[in-house]
Structure 1
Amino acid sequence: MTSSAREDWLATPGEALGRGTGIGFSVVEDRAALVQEFARQMLAEFAEARAAGRQRVLFIVPVGPTGQYEILADFCMAQRLSLRGLTLLGMDEYLAPDGDWIAEADPLSFRGHLRRHLVERMDHELAPRIIFPHPHRLAEPAAEIAAHGGVDVCFGGVGMCGHIAFNEPPEPGEVVSVEAFAARPTRVLRLSRETRTINAVTATGGDIALLPDQAVTVGMREILSARRIRLFLHRPWQRGVVRRMMHGPVTAAVPASLIQRHGDVAVVATRDVLPSPVPAIG
């Protein structure tokens, strides 16, 4: 790709994001509005699936952005709305040096986050079922998906390197075709330097040593199998990746770009994400 072609899609103005791509794109004011919309969509998708006669509904879900699960739990409690019949498959989880999940009590645990911010805020008879990929039982997510008749919706965010879940792009010099990357299943992997760096900025005060270097993740195979994909972006550092994802070439180097080949994708972003990335010394 020439530098001019690269600049063409990186310079896509905010008001043109998504235009001509077949990917839905909508804008909300800020993070508070984003997580409200996230919770609203989860409820709407569950209601639609149940109205269509689906007794067992499965969503793949992230931890970040954060805030939507408290909204979901509090609404269901106030309305006495049951989420029984809904299974939430957490996208990924950090691993300890011994290769097992980090402890659920660890502040970085995604399992612990969903338990505290969703399940424990709800009466047992109203709460959804929560499952996560296990590093020693990697076939379980595919089996769960099959038992549910497929993934109804994959909700998610997008990492700075373009990952969805922890589907990291190939390392420099590693050649992986789009088809091979799209077929990658649930697996254990080592996190990229980029992911550990930005996650340290957002989760550990910049101390990379506090971030685990391994994780278990659902694969692109599971994500792309979803009937619908819904992504939520609110970080200023996502200005580049949102353009690579929707307007750049489809490539394993930007895992989220593979959504361009999916038939039902929508992105919600805050206004912070809209400006084109412009080099500047801060």
Structure 2
Amino acid sequence: MKSIVKQDSITGEDIQLSFTDYGAGRPVVLIHGWPLSKEMWEYQVDDLVSAGLRVITYDRRGFGHSARPWQGYDYDSLTEDLKDIMEQLDLRDTVLVGFSMGGGEAVRYLSRYGSERVSQLVMISAVPPFLAKTPNNPDGVDQNVFEDIMANLKEDRIGFLDDFGKKFFGVGFMNHPVSAPLLDYYRMLASVASPRATQQWAISFAQTDFRADVQAINVPTLIIHGDADETVPIKSSSDRTAAIISGSQYLVFEDAPHGLFYTHKEKLNRDLITFITSA
């Protein structure tokens, strides 16, 4: 495990960002979702490296082994962190792969910093173009859903994470796509995150409007989403994103929940490698 240290452009404080860097060849940056960490990509890294790719994963600020500042939990700060990783590692011809809230990070990066270092984009179960329902975004998710998340995080964060994990992976009375020990493991990964970061990022991914960012995408794009996703409903997110990005490839995974990076890992990995290596 490695890290870079950067200076926050607003507060001036040093921000340490933890990352891993495996393999050789074309770089693929895997951007994790909320409220997990870079370890969520365990079942993708080996297949991607074996396909001849260089794979970089990192913990965004407030999660995993990265710094836990009190401020800076907005998407502009987040994409500045990504920019610093890209520049310090001198990544070029890069594939950005954003899962869930990480999809917002990827499109905001391209909107702010352009595609000089990026040649392809993949969004998996991603939150763009705009998740929250507002007067000018009637197809979004009701605000009371996010209010309940915040209330539960403040009342009993670990209890919320336990319930959230079951919904995340589509666990039900008759459906157990994830073992109990693995659910415990993912809950542990989420519990390690800063409590403040967990709350602040929940506000950011719900309330950030990415519609202009999505419209600015000018690289080949693959969009993947499960039609059984109860965490980021497909009709409020990827259905709309796919309609905005001209020429994008859109793959809908039948019966897949939000956490399809595990439940549908074999299919996901094949589709990722096909998209990346066919360019």
Q: Provide the TM-score with structure 1 as the length reference.
A: 0.36
Higher relative contact order (CA 8 A, sep 6+): 1
- Choose 1 or 2 for highest CA Rg: 1
